[in-house]
Homo-oligomer: A and B are copies of this chain.
Amino acid sequence: MARIKINEVERENSSDKVEKILLGAMQEFLAHGYAGASMDKVAAAAGVSKATVYSHFQDKQGLFKVLVEQLAKKRFESIFGTEPLEGEPNIVLRGLLTKALNQMLKDKEYQAFQRMLIGESARFPELSQVFLRSIAKPGSEIIASYLASRSELNIPDPEAMVWILMGSLLHLVIAHEIMHGKEIMPMESDRLVDALMHLVVKCAD
């Protein structure tokens, strides 16, 4: 009985450390990229020794991959946590675009994640593919099937329309937040969403 308790506690502590390491790794890798991050600083940020890091993860690459997959999973769940899309496009779609854009514009962790994924996409192509498969694609499909379901919108190619919608939002996030260009190329979120809604809704012949 006492023995079992000890085992449970030990297992808990061990899992605790794994989470602390992943948290420290997140800080380091998101801030400095793969090559710029150091395992010493990961260990320090996690509050453990470097040897402990290596006892839970094979090497720097292994830790990095687990971290990215974990972050992608987290984002994935936050997408599928939304209720299914139904109702008036002029309200539902506008709400969706506004909410998605404002969330991306505010969420510094998301921006750092996106920046790191793109920055490392030459060295770690599988990881950017994980992101596309688990986040970009499912998100696109949800919106595409909504657009297709609203036949009154009369959209000739809903899938292409989704590329346009997502690309427009992405462009604003990259130019303004990731590349720090708010002052260089100003554009109001609402103005962009208005223009998109005009294209989607008002152009139904």
Interface residues of A (CB under 8 A from B): 31-36, 112, 115-123, 125, 128-129, 131-133, 136-137, 140, 156-157, 159-161, 163-164, 166-172, 174-175, 178-181, 184-185, 187, 191-192, 194-196, 198-199, 202-203, 205
Contact = CB atoms under 8 A, between A and B. Distances in A.
Total copies of this chain within the assembly: 2
Given A35-B32, A122-B112, A179-B118, A166 B171 contact: yes
Contacts of A194: 157, 160
A175 B116 contact: no
Contact of A203 (B132, B185, B202): B202
B119 A33 contact: yes
A11 B53 CA distance: 53
Given A131-B179, A132-B175, A202-B203, A31 B167 contact: no
